[in-house]
Structure formats: structure tokens, C-alpha cells
Structure 1
Amino acid sequence: MIAWAGSCRPRCQGFGSWGGVGVRGRFRSLGQGRYRDLGARPSLVCRPLLPAGRSRLRRGCAGRAGPGHEGGGGRAGALAAAAVTAVALAVAAWRRARPVREVLFFPSRPCCIEALLAEAAEPGAPARPCPCPLPSGDTALSRLVRRLLSARRSLDLCLFSFSCPQLARTVQLLHRRGVRVRLVTDAQYMGLHGSQIGRLRHAGIQVRHDQHSGYMHHKFAIVDRRMLITGSLNWTTQAIQSNRENVLVVEDAEYVKAFQEEFERIWEEYNPANYRFFSERH
């Protein structure tokens, strides 16, 4: 059996070793089992010791280690585990830093989003089975809901038509969670049967609409002033389940800035203080 000069030396000097990494030249053979201490120099090279020198080295290490001295395997294992953890955290941070680039295509098959809403409402709570017969898989609708639920500070919506109950529940949940929600919509379509605008207003969400003959035909959302969700999709059950639609989800500062400025301009233009209920001509 061969003992390595670095197997316990690093702990005696106050620094660890990685598996076979030891200390080069720490002990020099003087013959007849005698070794000279030359000072610790970290290296990736280790030298075997003969049996006589091995026992002397072990006695020297044991004398220097003192209380709390652990085995070489334990120290090396702890260092290896710490390195693996550091790498995992670095990879996770890199993935989080990557900007979102996603395209969603509709129609989306009917799905249950109760699990998503329950997790967002009570993070970490045990999952409760939903009695509805719909499957809960990965669909374009569920991905859209996840992007919306990522909002932490603000959600600005500019939508021509909004009658999908599932998306309305998602917006209400964000509002209850403290996210500032603002909604701009079309005056004519907000009054249609099935529209969710009244429900959202009743929940306390700020809603503004146009007051002229043209349509407010935008379909976009801005999450936390960093992520843009836009495309051809009206937020209606008909469009989600039956129409050929597209939604682009991007984290791009230039695009977000342009859409945010457009939203702020419309939001101010549709301020109720600016409404005209009577003609200026008498």
C-alpha cells in the first residue's frame, strides 16, 4: 500500500486538498526512513512514501492536528460538495439572467389552470386536486398564465376584448397579491355579453376606455416594465380555443420602452377627467 505525502498534510497547514491533490516537496527523504520538512507548497503532484516514512508522517500529522482534526476524505468531500453547489448556483443565475424569448401559437387545447393559480396564491402549499375534467398540461394558455403570474410590481394591459374567465382570474389574483394592475380597453367591446371588464372593475382594478369612434385595437401586456406580451390574440375564450393566433413574449428593453410609452400616452388620454359628455356647441 502506498501513502501519499499530501493525504493529510494540507489539514495540518490549514488548507484542504482535492482528492489526490497534495503538497509537493513537503517531505524529502534523507534515507533510512528519515524525512526533512521543506515547507508547504500547493501542487497537483503527490509523491508516495515508503512504509517507514508513512508511520513517521502519520505521527507528525497527528501531533499537529489537535482537537477537531477530521479525516482527509471528509474534508475533501466537503470541499467537493461546496464546489458542486457553487457551480449549480452559477448555472441557475445564468439561466435566470437569460432574457425571455418565447412565441406562443393558438388555438390552445382546453386545460385546467387551477394548480397554477393555487400555487401563485399560496406558494409552497400542498397541491389540491381539481374536480374539473380538464387536463392540466403544458399548453399555450398555461404558458401565458405563467408569464403573467411572474409579475411582482406591475401589470399594464392594453386589450381590445377581454372575456376569458381564466385570464380574468389570473389578473384578479395578481391584484390581490399587491401588483398594480392598470387596464385599457375598447368602450364598445367592454359592454358585450361575457366581458370580464365589469368583474375586474368590481375587484378594484383601474380600467380606462376610449371615447371616440375608432377602436382601441391594441393587444399587449407589460409585466414589471421588463417583459412584453403582444400579438394577434384577443383575450377571449373563442380566440384562445378556436382561432389561429400568435403571442410574442420578450424581455427587450427597447421594445418594452416603446410599448410602455404608448400605454402611458393612452392611459393619460383616456383619463376620465378628459371625457366630454356633451358637445361644446349649444
Structure 2
Amino acid sequence: MSNLSVKEMISAGVHFGHQSKYWNPKMRPYIFTTYNKLHIINLDKSVEHFKLAISYIEKLSKNNAKILFVGTKRAARDIISEHAKNAGMPYVNNRWLGGMLTNFDTVKKSIQKLEGLKKHLEASKILDNMSKKETLTIKKQITKLEKNLDGIKDLEKLPDALFVIDTRYEKIAIQEANKLNIPVIAVVDSNNSFDGVDFMIPGNDDSMSSIKLFVSEVSKTIKSNKTSVTSAKTENQSPQGKKSLKKKQVIEVSSKSEKKDAVSKKTEND
């Protein structure tokens, strides 16, 4: 299991939250202190919640599940695409199209249209039977569709879970996942809400170094567990749509004893 340390999180700036005046009161249990009007996130809680999230991701990966990486803000785009591709996972890093999950059949038709346009363009190059104007029009259509669909072009069914950077920025994605009973794993900053999130990780969702730390670790975990599963040819079915693995891991505790109880209950459930 991937175990990020407090030291690694400090180096990546995970502890830096937002200005205290912009905070979300629901994040109170995860804030360590305020320094120069800036909230400092409690990294002990971040480590605790990351372990819970990564444990769940391992279970999904061992069942060959598809985890959709979602991060469309500028700081996350390149990181999301790079590490999702590395793990062989689908991703959305440009814009979340309304209905991407709840109207998935229509999205699949758009993907089919994209593939059709590409084939048509390639055929026209060979046959040399298309005008420059027609070629330009098709290229523009392909570019537009690729911008929003390239990361999910190989997604044949709804994902088994979402891994999200910035819950406020991706609130529509989370709402759609909730409607379809798809588990959500997310990095949640001090100014954001974890409503609708099943496995929250308190942390800086603005810094590229912080985003990269979490996304790269999730990617490595998926890749390592997928490899072992493929070689073993597991007979386990994908857990898509099932809540049996899904446990509410937003643990709000105020004392060490409560924390121990919460963790022990999680262990028993697993």
C-alpha cells in the first residue's frame, strides 16, 4: 500500500489551505491552526484519510475497475492527463460536459462520431477526394470533440469510481456520480465541501506540487495492482455500481479515542 508521510506532504505544500475568511466550516475538524490568516490543514488527518482512500483504490484496482480521474482546473489539467494515461485510466481534464455520466449513451454516440470523423479524414487522404474546405471543417470538428472526449474515448461503460481534484470546481461531476451511486474519492481543500464525497482527503487542491503528489500516488497504486491482477488472471468481477465496497470515510473526530474507534470500525468493515 502507498503510504504518504507527513514529511512528504509538507514538502509538497499539502498543508496550505485558503485564507481563513474563505473557509468552509465543515472542514473545521481537519484544520490544525491559522497562520498569517491562512488555514493550515492537519496533515495527520490527511495521512489518515489518504490511507483509507488508497486502500479502497487498491480494492477497486484488484477487481480491474475503471477509475475516472477528474481535474479541469488549469493547475490540474496536465497532471491529470499524464498520470491517468500512465495508469491506463480514463480522465476528464478540459471541461466536464453536463450529462457525461447521467447521459452516458449520448456521450458514447459523440465518441463514435469522433472515431467516424477520424476514419473519414484518413480515407479522404488516401483517396484524395475531399476539398480543402471540407477537410478543414472536419479537422475543426475533430479538435473540438477531442478536447472534451479524448480522455474517455476508450470508456465503454460507466466508471466504477471518480477521483476528483477540487470538489467545488467539479461539483457537477460529483452530483452526477451521486445520482448513479458511483463512489467519489476527492482531495478537499479548506474552502470546499466534502458533501457527496465518500473518501475525502483533506489537502491543498491548488498547488501543482500537492496535486501531483496525490495524483501520482493514486496512479502508481492503480498501475501496480492492475499488473498483478492481469498476470494472475483474477476471476473477480468489476464492482461497478456496487456499494458493497463503498464505505463512508468522511470521519469527523475530535478526540484520539473516537479516532481509534472510527479506524477500527473501518477495519472490521473491510
Structure 2 length-normalised TM: 0.24
Q: TM-score, normalised by structure 1?
A: 0.23
Higher Cα radius of gyration: 1
Higher helix share: 2
Which structure has more RCO (C-alpha within 8 Å, separation ≥ 6)?
Answer: 2
Q: Per residue, is there more strand in 1 or in 2?
A: 1
